[in-house]
Copies of this chain bind each other. A is one copy, B any other.
Amino acid sequence: MIFYLLICAIKLIRLVSEVITKMEMKNRATYKRKKPGTSPGSLVYVGEQKIQNVKMYLFDFNRDLFEEKDIENVEEIFKYKKNGNITWINIDGVHDTTIIKKIGEYFDIHSLILEDILDTSHRPKIDDMEHYIYISLKMLTVDPITQKIGQEQVGIILGDDYILSFQESAEGDVFNPIRERLRTGKGRMRKLGADYFAYCLLDAVIDNYFLVVESIGERIESLDQEIIVNPSKTTLPKVHNLKNELIKLRKAVWPLRDIVSTLERSESPLFKESTEIYIKDLYDHSVQIIDTIETYRDLVSGLFDIYLSSVSNKTNDVMKVLTMMASIFIPLTFIVGVYGMNFKYFPELEWQYGYAMVWVLMIGVAGSLWIYFKKKGWT
């Protein structure tokens, strides 16, 4: 009983969530875009605003020291400059161009890079700007109820002693375990340099992909079961959605390989040689993710084929029933029609066993048709 209520509750939540999604889609009118022809490097936010206020956190640490701080005002971060420690500044929400501009000026970031940070629809990319490296990725989230996959841009700037990370919102933050590890001082993170720390951020984002990919794998398996056992009207839209989500996912993840591979081959002094093996590990993970997505696309495309052919099969079954019913009864109806005629001179009608003979005839006809269909393997 309680179990049943639970299911109802889940269904309700799902419904509400879908309604909200639809409303959000309508609200996309608030999606901002850049006017073509604006000066290159002009700072305009592209995308929908996901949180109200920008939140900034600063972590300043070395092997021994550790400081964590919420930043209200951009100027607060200026005093951490060149203090010998590694400084990580995390900005949740990139819709406030003035903040981005101030940070950009302070850290001497090229305006084209700032433009890319603000453009949340941008393809994942890497830019080696000599005194810093800019990497942008998509962070993926799976809605636990509707199973929809969300995308959010993460921009990471690696300098010699600072790391900046920009996110669209604070939700589903994959950097939390990293914060924990910083606080407890576990692992190599506080001992090794800024490049290792940047690797940790990338690794956290990519590790998260495995969860997303796994959730898709489970959906494929359950759809596969559904199609083989009991395909219904709702199956097809589900397969279609999955297919589209995989297409979009692929677009978000595909550039990853190039990015990590560029990082691996990069000769930037910002990346120490000791970090190289970690980057190679990251590369292996990227390739595995992409491989899995390609495999899933093949599987989903197979789902579609099998759905189509199960519909064909069903039509064929329906046709067989119709054909058997019609083919058996139509001749019989004709026979009884014959003896329903009102001719004056109609010898059979006068016979005593006429009626019985007609039944014999009809059973004979029906029987031989039945045997015919049986032999054709239609029963």
Contacts and interface: CB of A to CB of B under 8 A. Distances in A.
Interface of A: 33-40, 42, 110, 112, 116, 122-123, 125, 127, 129, 174-178, 181, 186-189, 199-200, 203-204, 207-208, 210-211, 214, 224, 228, 233, 236-237, 240, 243-244, 247-248, 250-251, 254, 277-278, 280-281, 284, 287-288, 291-292, 295, 298-299, 302, 304-316, 318-323, 325-327, 329-334, 336-355, 358, 378
A344 B350 contact: yes
A322 B315 contact: no
Contacts of A35: 177
7 contacts: A40-B203, A40-B281, A129-B277, A236-B306, A311-B316, A336-B337, A344-B352
A102 B283 CA distance: 27
Given A39-B186, A129-B277, 9 more contacts: A40-B200, A123-B284, A247-B302, A315-B315, A318-B378, A322-B322, A323-B325, A329-B334, A341-B342
B309 A309 contact: no
Number of copies of this chain in the oligomer? Answer: 5
Contacts of A129: 277
Contacts of A327: 321-322, 325-326
A305 B214 CA distance: 26
Contacts of A287: 123
Contacts of A334: 329, 332-333, 336
Contacts of A348: 343
B325 A330 contact: yes
A114 to B, nearest CB: 12
A287 B123 CA distance: 8
Given A35-B177, A311-B312, A299 B247 contact: yes
Contacts of A127: 280
A355 to B, nearest CB: 4
A354 B349 contact: no
Contacts of A243: 302
A320 B237 CA distance: 21
A248 B295 contact: yes
Contact of A207 (B36, B254, B284, B350): B36
Given A336-B338, A343-B355, A112 B321 contact: no
Nearest to A186: B39
Contacts of A305: 304
Contacts of A33: 210, 214
A330 B181 CA distance: 77
A189 B39 contact: yes
A244 B302 contact: yes
Nearest to A208: B36
Nearest to A248: B295
Contacts of A353: 345
Contacts of A178: 37
A212 to B, nearest CB: 10
B315 A312 contact: yes
A251 B291 contact: yes
A247 to B, nearest CB: 5
Nearest to A307: B309
B333 A330 contact: yes
Given A295-B248, A345-B354, A37 B174 contact: yes
Contacts of A40: 199-200, 203, 278, 281
